[in-house]
Structure 1
Amino acid sequence: MTDIVSADWLADNLDRLRVVDVRDGWEYDAMAHLPGAVSIPFDRFRTGSSDSEGMLPSRGEWASLLGAAGVGADSELVAYDDHHGVFAARFLVTAELLGHDPDKLHLLDGDFSSWQLDHPTSGDAVEVEERDYDVESPAETPLVDADRVAAASDDPDAVLVDTRDESEYATGHIPGAVLLDWRELVDDETRGLLPREGALSVLEDAGIVPERRVVLYCNTARRISHTYVVLRHLGFEDVEFYEGSLTEWEAQDRPLESG
């Protein structure tokens, strides 16, 4: 499963990993990057063409993008950004949803800043050999549709989770959803995940426990990507991912609650 790794772990394993920097291209060039990291900016995979499924890139676009960055189906990947990991998490979840082995996907805890504290960066251009990126669609997927989401609010064994901020939630949310701003699981000082017990306590306070089926949504599936990675890292097994999120929900003229 996709997990979260420390800068020290990454440093010890750097030679065998393909590290992906999802910051803007100018940041990669002007502000240095991890040694050997390739640049795949967030806006390159965030939106796809008309044949895309939801907000995911098409399989062909994704394969071309990763192959050009020297990523193969067998590559073990670590992704990072400079925004608490939310953009890097979206990259990793996209990879998982499109068929990359989730056991080979890792999020750098504490983003780029955690690496800079104790480890060297590089301004050198990284030369990669283009590879043929070919993975099969996964046999199982956490993706769910709007009907499945609507049913979750009436299911006592499920909890529907809105990962946006409090003001967005108050303006309008899917009926029955509980609020968990994704940033509540992040330590502002370290920019990384809260210590395990602290994170579990925050989740429990919102009614999010491993025994329940967890269904996640936000506006465009970016913020739920981070929460999804955190939950899987903490051992939650039944986590569902509403890729369409409120963009699709509102387009289908489905009801919202306010307050």
Structure 2
Amino acid sequence: MDIADADWVEEQGEAVCRVDVRDGWEYDGIGHLPDAVNVPFDTYRAESHASDGGEGEVGMLPGAEQFADVMGAAGVSREDDVVAYDDTHGVFAARLLVTCELYGHPPERLHLLNGDYSSWARDHPVSQEAVEPDPTTYEATFDPDGPLVEADVVAEALDDPDSVVVDTREQWEFDEAHLPGAVRLDWQELVDTDSRGLRHEDDVLDLLVERGIDTDRRVVLYCNTARRISHTYIVLRHLGYDDLAFYEGSLTEWEEQGRPLEKSEAG
């Protein structure tokens, strides 16, 4: 799983399956990458959290059967190299790719476009031609041994000096309530507002080290409903962080279980 520059994606042509996760009206009305298929965000996101009666295995996952239907209808198979994009710096596209991994798609075949549709459109061709995918069979099986961790594991990590629990939300959210001892790293701090893609890698690494998010520590990620941590997860994977844990339940589940929270003075 990595972050792919636009030039590389264009060079690959049909060798990679381009997936646009914006709403249909954006895909149809504004344009899209040539040959890209449309898999809107709400089609691979559960309507409610699993802890609140949702049908997915955990958190906001849609369930293996639903995800297989969505991807198969878009003509995507697990053998495909997939590059996903949105028009919001990649945060929604990252969620698709993480969902793919959690349902068994080989991570080395998953790529996040560096930037988004707006940045692509500056220098590369776009299209408004309808793409009619050939439906295929997408094999989706939830992997319980993947990067997902449960709340008890997160609680242990909070007391483990060899681990760092990272909150990827905005400052005001963190101030109002966060896991005790968590380090804040707003996912947007990793994004360059001009290029709309990842900041220079040296700058990102400096920021991570400054926050104590080192490659020799286990990194446990959370936000509210696990959307924003998807982007941070892919960035860290791209930068060579190997020991990553993904708390799918995130703050929503943590609060519902009545686990401790703390506020910043500002909150």
TM-score of the pair, normalised by structure 2: 0.94
- SS of 2:166 mapped into structure 1: strand
Distance in 2 (alpha carbons) for counterparts of 1:257 and 1:139: 30
Distance in 2 (alpha carbons) for counterparts of 1:187 and 1:127: 34
Q: CA deviation at 1:236?
A: 0.1
Alignment of 1:1-259 (within 5 A): 2-47=1-46, 50-53=54-57, 54-138=59-143, 140-259=145-264
Letter in 1 for 2:174: Y
CA RMSD of aligned residues (A): 1.1
Q: 1:139 to 1:258 in 2, by over 3 A?
A: closer
Q: 1:232 to 1:13 in 2, by over 3 A?
A: same
Distance in 1 (alpha carbons) for counterparts of 2:256 and 2:158: 20
Q: CA deviation at 1:114?
A: 2.0
Q: CA deviation at 1:40?
A: 0.5
- SS of 2:221 mapped into structure 1: strand
TM-score of the pair, normalised by structure 1: 0.97
Percent identity, aligned pairs only, is 58
Q: CA deviation at 1:16?
A: 0.8
Contact 1:142 1:240 in 2 (8 A): yes
Distance in 2 (alpha carbons) for counterparts of 1:193 and 1:135: 29
Contact 1:42 1:87 in 2 (8 A): yes
Q: CA deviation at 1:140?
A: 3.5
Distance in 2 (alpha carbons) for counterparts of 1:139 and 1:252: 21
Letter in 2 for 1:41: P
Contact 2:64 2:141 in 1 (8 A): no
- SS of 1:14 mapped into structure 2: helix
- SS of 1:9 mapped into structure 2: helix
Contact 1:217 1:243 in 2 (8 A): yes
Contact 2:225 2:249 in 1 (8 A): yes
Q: CA deviation at 1:151?
A: 0.9
Q: CA deviation at 1:136?
A: 4.3
131-140 or 57-66, which deviates more: 131-140
- SS of 1:210 mapped into structure 2: coil
Distance in 1 (alpha carbons) for counterparts of 2:144 and 2:250: 22
Unaligned stretches of 5+ residues in structure 2: 49-53
